[in-house]
Amino acid sequence: MIAEAARGLAQLVPDWPRIAIVLGSAQAAFIESLNNTREIPYGQIPGWPSPSVPGHAGKIILGECGARRVCVLAGRVHLYEGRTPQEVTFGVRVLGKLGTRVLVLTNAAGGINPSYSPGLLVLLTDHINLQGQNPLAGPNDGTLGPRFPDMTEAYDRRLRDQARSAALELGLGFGEGVYAGLLGPSFETPAEIRYLRTIGADLAGMSTVPETIAARHMGMRVLGISTVTNMAAGMQSEITHDEVLATGKARARDLSRLLEALLPRIEV
């Protein structure tokens, strides 16, 4: 199904961009910055799952970010929607088949590191997979990648260096930290957050980890950027999805500025 979807998309668009961006909750502002766009709804692609959560659209957008052609996935599916790890990583794998070399994953996350505050953009240095699942479990498809892929540098150091430079030039405050991927959909308990802090997590979220694993399996370079939409459980009075969406939306413009500065300078 991955190969079939890739064949269909390659027929529609012969020269597929080598950089792709997956946008998280309420982060659509970046799409508006693109020129000469073309949209392909997920529903038109056989096998491509459509998101069910408000705040997550469901389409591919091809466009130009400055001089750089990029592919944006606006909306993703999550394990907590009851989707399988194969469904969650389907889009990333299709893009890999289409020649994507660099994958930028954005998400909303709760801030565990006490030096963070809501609204901060954080470059991911690493992740901890606590979702209890892995998209590579099961028979290995050797056409995608190796049985035991290395995850030493899951988040590419050079991409992070370039993102850091871009943020500094723009005068954007940012952090760097470790993302703990949880299954969700309930937010964590305060005890879980204390545990996550102890094991070295700076952020808690419910996405990104399966996509990073699938992308690394295929040899893509990955950059992860979280928007801290709230402080994690026990660090503020309560957490609501409305707050996650509102903060994500309020910070989408700066996230877009960062991407606009960064993407044209990535060599692929």
Considering only the stretches 52-60, 108-116, 138-146, 152-160, report the one whose residues sit in contact with ligand HPA under the rule CB under 6 A.
108-116
- Known active-site residue 25: yes
251, two tokens: 């910070």
205 belongs to the binding site for ligand HPA (CB under 6 A): yes
Tell me how many helices (H) and strands (E) the chain has: 8, 9
Min separation Cβ 230 and ligand HPA, Å: 5
CA 262/CA 200 separation, integer angstroms: 28
Buried b / exposed e over 135-165, threshold 16 CB at 10 Å, is: bbeeeeeeebbeeebeeeebbbeebbebbee
Taking CB positions, which residue lies at the least distance from ligand HPA?
A: 110
Which residues are CB-contacts of 171 (< 8 A; sequence separation ≥ 6)?
Answer: none
202 belongs to the binding site for ligand HPA (CB under 6 A): no
From the candidates 206, 214, 215, 231, give the one annotated as an active-site residue: 206
Site size for ligand HPA, by CB under 6 A? 14
From the candidates 230, 231, 233, 261, give the one annotated as an active-site residue: 230
Considering only the stretches 77-85, 87-95, 161-169, 227-235, report the one whose residues sit in contact with ligand HPA under the rule CB under 6 A.
227-235
Binding mask 236-255 for ligand HPA (x = CB under 6 A): ---x----x-----------
CA neighbor of 112 nearest in space, from 208, 240, 205: 205
148, two tokens: 């035991």
Min separation Cβ 167 and ligand HPA, Å: 21
**Nearer of residues 74 and 239 to ligand HPA, judged by Cβ:** 239
Which residues are CB-contacts of 244 (< 8 A; sequence separation ≥ 6)?
Answer: 25, 26, 108, 229, 230
CA 123/CA 125 separation, integer angstroms: 6
From the candidates 25, 107, 113, 256, give the one annotated as an active-site residue: 25
DSSP state of 236: S
Min separation Cβ 226 and ligand HPA, Å: 9
**Nearer of residues 41 and 185 to ligand HPA, judged by Cβ:** 185
CA neighbor of 90 nearest in space, from 184, 9, 180: 9
Task: Please select the residue that binds ligand HPA; options are 92, 206, 255, 266, rule is CB under 6 A.
Answer: 206
Q: Which residues are catalytic?
A: 25, 56, 78, 80-81, 108, 206-207, 230, 241
Residues that bind ligand HPA (CB under 6 A): 108-110, 182, 187-188, 204-206, 229-230, 232, 239, 244
